[in-house]
Every structure is written in C-alpha cells, then in structure tokens.
A and B are shown apart, each in its own frame.
Chain A
Amino acid sequence: MKELITKVTWNSIQHYGDSASVKYYEFLKNRIFRTTYCDTCQKRWFPPRKYCPNCFKEMFKWVEMANTGTLYAFTQQERSLRFGKPDVIGIVELDTGERLLTKINAPFEELKIGMRVKLEYIEIDENITLHSFSPVK
C-alpha cells in the first residue's frame, strides 16, 4: 500500500501540477524552500508555476521563501489520508508574504492565531519531503 501511495502521489503531482511542482518538491527534498519569481514583472508567485500568470513568460528564477511566519488559522483533522491523529494543520503567512497550508508540529490546544512559527521538514517517502511549522519558543 505504501508503495502504491508513493507511486500514485508522484505521478499525480506531475499530472495535476506542472514542471515547477516537480522542481519545488525536488528543492524540498534537499531542504530548500523556494518559489518561482518573474524577472519581467519582478513578482514572486506561490504556488510555483512554470509560466508567470501575469506576462506568461517562463519563470527561470527561484527565490527563497522565509523560514519564519505567523499562524493565520489552524485546525485539526479527525481523519487524514496521510498522517495519523493528532493531525494539526494550519495556514501560515510567511514573512516573505506567501500564504500556505502546512502541518503544525504542536498540540492543537497550545496554538493561538498570530503566533510566530518557524520552518521544519518532514520526510514522507523517496520523492516527497514536506514543509511543516513549529511555534517559536
């Protein structure tokens, strides 16, 4: 089953994402946290994309996203397809401006909107390492 999930996940990322999605996960695998940047529009785009949705030129440049941010909202999933319980997830606003869904490494009860959080990584399988965030003590 784990083998099936690994294979289908990676195939589906390529099918439903684009070549930037693949590169994004390759970066994460190496613990590099980046998104695409359009040199023409001088604008960062998250989620990453191959083409700038503003000028449709190819975005060759990848820029660092901040490894710190603020917890915008959070919840806990009773059931999760990939993680056991407790599965705390949240929306983090990075200091570089991106807003993303991520895993929060702390008990639900200890969290508050507006908390400062910092980046960590979780290794899932041979292709996938995910970002996750923990409250800054």
Chain B
Amino acid sequence: MRRRGRKRRKNVAYVAGVSMTPVTRTLGKPHKEVAAELLAEALEDAGLEKNDIDTLVVTPPNLAGPPSFMFVCALAEYLDLRTKHINMVECGGTSGAMAIKTALNEIFLGRTEFAAVIAIDQRFDLQPGQVDINVFMHEALQTQICLYGPYDSLYGIGAPIPYYAMSAQRYMEEYGATEEDFARVAVMLRNHASKNPLAEYRDPITVEDVLNSRYLSPPLKLLDCSPFASGGACVILANPYVTRPLPKPPVWITGVGEWHEPDHFIPQNGSITSFTSVKKSAEEAFERAGMEPVDVDVAEVYGVFTATELMIYEDLGIFPPGEGYIAVKEGKATYGGNVVMNPSGGRLSLGHPAAATPVMEMVEVVRQLRGECGERQVPGARCGLVHAEHGMLNGSIVFVLEV
C-alpha cells in the first residue's frame, strides 16, 4: 500500500521494455546491427513503436577504444530516429548506469515520454599479423597512460586486476577471509549462471577448481576474475505521466543514488576494503525509495572480482562490514537465503561486457520483478537493486526498482 502512493511523486519513472544479447567472446556482427536488433526486441517487449522513442542514450560501443567519435549520431541515422535528445555517455564501469541516469533526467525534465538506452561492448579480437605491432603498441600505451595516469601506468598496470588484488589482500588481512572464501563466491555465481541461457560460463565449478586456477595477481586467480566479453542490452524507460496502457506491468525506478570520490583507483586516504561512494550512493537510493537494504529481494551488482563482490554487498548495507564472506558461506546470498545476489551469474559467470554490464543488470532485475525468469526466478521478488562502479569503487551508482 505504502508503495502505491509514492509512484505519483516527482522523479520516478518506470521500465517499459528490455532486451539483451547473450554474453559471448565476440558478437560477430557490427555494432549498428546489434543496436537495431536490441531496439526492435525492447520495443516489442514494451508494446511500443520506434516513433514513440524521443530520447536515445548510448555508451561507446567499445569502452576502451578504438575511437567511437559521434557514434550516437551515426546510430540515430542508421535507425532513422527523430528525437528530442541523443547522447553518448562514458564514465568507466558506470557508463551503462550513467546512460540510464541521463535518460531518466530527460524524463524528469518533462521533455521525454519514452527513452531508449542502448549499451554495447564489442571486444576487438585481434589475430596475430592482423595489425602492425608498432601501431598497436602506440595505441595501447596511450590508452594505458590515459587510463591509469602518468604515475601508476609506468609500473606496467595493463588491466585493473592488481588494484583489486591488493584490495582483496587487505580484505583477507582485515577480516580473516581466505582464498577459499573468495572461491565460494565464484561457485555461487556459477550455480546461478547454470540456469541462465544468456550466460557465457554455465558449466558447474567447485571450490577446488577456483583454488587450482592460476594466479593472475595474487590473491586473485583466473576464476576469481571476470574475463573480457562482448554483449549488448537495451532498456526503454517511460515517463510516469504516460497514460497509455502497455502490455507488461511497469517496473518502477523508485530510487537513484550516485557518489564519486576524487580518487582514481588508489585512494590517497582511507580504506581499500570499504568504499564511501558505494555507501553514499546506496544510502541515497534507499532514502529516495523509502526502502531499506533488508527490503531487497534481488540485486545485480558490479562485482568484477570475487573479493570485490563481497565488499559491495557490505557497502550496500545488505550484509554487515566484514561479513559478506560469512553470508556467502552460510548461503544467505543465494536462493533460500536472505536475498539473491546476481541471479544472472554476475560479472564472473554471466560475463562482463563492461559498457553493457549495468544495463544487463537492469534487464535481469526487471525480468526478475516481472516474474519472467523461469528456472532462476527469485520467488516473490518485489524489490530489486542495480549497482555499478568505476575506478576501484571510487564512483558508484545505485538504482532501487519495485513492482
């Protein structure tokens, strides 16, 4: 009852339609074709037509390059879309969530009835001999120094794994967690993914498999990490003042929270096992929704490494500080527990096309709240959460969704 009244207030919108591709190594087709297929499927899901869309927001179709200058304009032409707003949004791991928030802002401004958000990440699968090694090194070095800055990058950081590995090491030191505790997270997520036909990794694994996989950056091993992947997703957001009847029940976005600390990767002060941005963004989203962490039935979070996943559970307020690994051990984060975390399989097993990930998270939560998830349906899910982060959790966005 309480929820019904809140929906009429300002700054609330709902998700009308969703679509997503399977997560794979490569999508095997050009970005624009993927975008057209995603939009068509989401429009059908929403019971809408292309001309109903008056805002289009995208993320760069390959987050870390090569360049995608003016991609959104080229895509609008390809889709023959006339809109009141188009935009391409990039902010690292939060890009997809930021694209959703940009579309929400257009709705809250009162300028938009229906907004489409399309996020695609297509890795370039280069074969030896396909590219001039000098050209490749030139671009790779520039990208690396741009991303990790003129100080850290000279120590050879090529992927963010070492930062998160040191965060994982501190988590073990501070809370007494072990590599086995991290392995249990990977096993739980793989179990979830085994029931998701869109997931990249579905074959069951054991704690021993994770412990026996090779170290990428200790204490993190291969199966503690989410590999690069390709995939795309689309959500169609609707203005609450639209009165047209739609075929599917609305899934309301009742809370949004966002916070960014100035630190880019290594904070100059403070913890690397608990993050202000995640805490503040969750607190804001829950407050706006009038909900508490304990109300969450299902959540999709941006845990790109097993240890990181646990820290996010804790900073969101879903489990107490330092107890995320105990909750996973006791089965509290899966079916039959307090809440189901990452029923899609999460970043580790659904797979992680970074730009698309936050939008994929929202697609999963919307399908869960509609009750469309079949074998992996979270029974009676009414309240869901979507989380994304950038720069080793120094920036974070949280959405609370309700039916």
Name which residue of chain B comes closest to A7, CB basis.
B138
Q: Give which listed residue, A15, A24, A53, A78, contacts B215 with CB less than 8 A.
A: A78
Contacts of B156 in A (CB 8 A): 77, 80-83, 87, 89
The reply to whether B267 and A99 contact each other, CB–CB distance below 8 Å, is yes
Cβ-based interface call for B202 (8 A): no
Q: Give which listed residue, A1, A72, A73, contacts B134 with CB less than 8 A.
A: A1
| Best-surrounded residue of A21, A24, A75, A82 (most CB of chain B within 10 A) | A75
The reply to whether A98 and B268 contact each other, CB–CB distance below 8 Å, is yes
Cβ-based interface call for B51 (8 A): no
**In the assembly, what is the distance between CA of A126 and CA of B217, in Å?**
30
Contacts of A98 in B (CB 8 A): 268
Contacts of B173 in A (CB 8 A): 113
Contacts of B376 in A (CB 8 A): none
0/1 string, A99-117, CB within 8 A of B gives 1: 1111100001000010000
0/1 string, B143-180, CB within 8 A of A gives 1: 01110011110111110011001110110010000000
**In the assembly, what is the distance between CA of A53 and CA of B262, in Å?**
11
Name which residue of chain B comes closest to A76, CB basis.
B218
Name which residue of chain B comes closest to A90, CB basis.
B166
Cβ-based interface call for B74 (8 A): no
Interface residues of A in 1-31 (CB under 8 A from B): 1, 4-5, 8-9, 12-13, 15-17, 21, 24
Min CB–CB distance B351 → chain A (angstroms): 21
In the complex with contacts A103-B155, A130-B154, A74-B142 CB distance below 8 A: no
| Best-surrounded residue of B151, B167, B214 (most CB of chain A within 10 A) | B151
Contacts of B152 in A (CB 8 A): 101
The reply to whether B217 and A77 contact each other, CB–CB distance below 8 Å, is yes
Min CB–CB distance B42 → chain A (angstroms): 37
Contacts of A119 in B (CB 8 A): none
| Best-surrounded residue of B166, B173, B266 (most CB of chain A within 10 A) | B166
The reply to whether B145 and A77 contact each other, CB–CB distance below 8 Å, is no
Name which residue of chain A comes closest to B152, CB basis.
A101
The reply to whether B149 and A47 contact each other, CB–CB distance below 8 Å, is yes
Contacts of A108 in B (CB 8 A): 218
Contacts of B137 in A (CB 8 A): 1, 4-5, 8
Contacts of B134 in A (CB 8 A): 1, 4
Cβ-based interface call for B73 (8 A): no
0/1 string, A80-94, CB within 8 A of B gives 1: 111100010111000
Cβ-based interface call for A63 (8 A): no
Cβ-based interface call for A66 (8 A): no
Interface residues of A in 22-50 (CB under 8 A from B): 24, 46-47
Interface residues of A in 118-133 (CB under 8 A from B): 124, 128, 130
Q: Give which listed residue, A12, A73, A113, contacts B142 with CB less than 8 A.
A: A12
Cβ-based interface call for A137 (8 A): no
The reply to whether A75 and B146 contact each other, CB–CB distance below 8 Å, is no
| Best-surrounded residue of A21, A81, A90 (most CB of chain B within 10 A) | A81
Contacts of A13 in B (CB 8 A): 145, 150
**In the assembly, what is the distance between CA of A79 and CA of B262, in Å?**
29
The reply to whether B145 and A12 contact each other, CB–CB distance below 8 Å, is yes
Q: Give which listed residue, B154, B162, B214, B272, contacts A77 with CB less than 8 A.
A: B162
The reply to whether B167 and A73 contact each other, CB–CB distance below 8 Å, is yes
The reply to whether B155 and A82 contact each other, CB–CB distance below 8 Å, is yes
| Best-surrounded residue of B150, B157, B158 (most CB of chain A within 10 A) | B150
**In the assembly, what is the distance between CA of A28 and CA of B173, in Å?**
33
**In the assembly, what is the distance between CA of A108 and CA of B269, in Å?**
25
The reply to whether B150 and A21 contact each other, CB–CB distance below 8 Å, is yes
| Best-surrounded residue of B145, B215, B220 (most CB of chain A within 10 A) | B145
Q: Which B residues contact A (CB, under 8 angstroms)? A: 133-134, 137-138, 140-142, 144-146, 149-152, 154-158, 161-162, 165-167, 169-170, 173, 214-220, 262, 266-269, 272
Q: Could you list 7 further interchain pairs (A-B, Cβ under 8 angstroms) beyond the known A77-B158, A91-B266?
A: A8-B141, A12-B150, A16-B145, A78-B214, A81-B157, A99-B268, A101-B151
Q: Which A residues contact B (CB, under 8 angstroms)? A: 1, 4-5, 8-9, 12-13, 15-17, 21, 24, 46-47, 53, 72-83, 87, 89-91, 98-103, 108, 113, 124, 128, 130
14 CB < 8 A contacts A-B: A4-B134, A4-B138, A12-B142, A16-B145, A73-B170, A74-B169, A75-B219, A80-B156, A81-B140, A81-B158, A89-B162, A91-B266, A101-B157, A130-B154
List of 4 A-B pairs having minimum Cβ-Cβ separation, nearest first: A17-B150, A73-B166, A80-B156, A12-B145
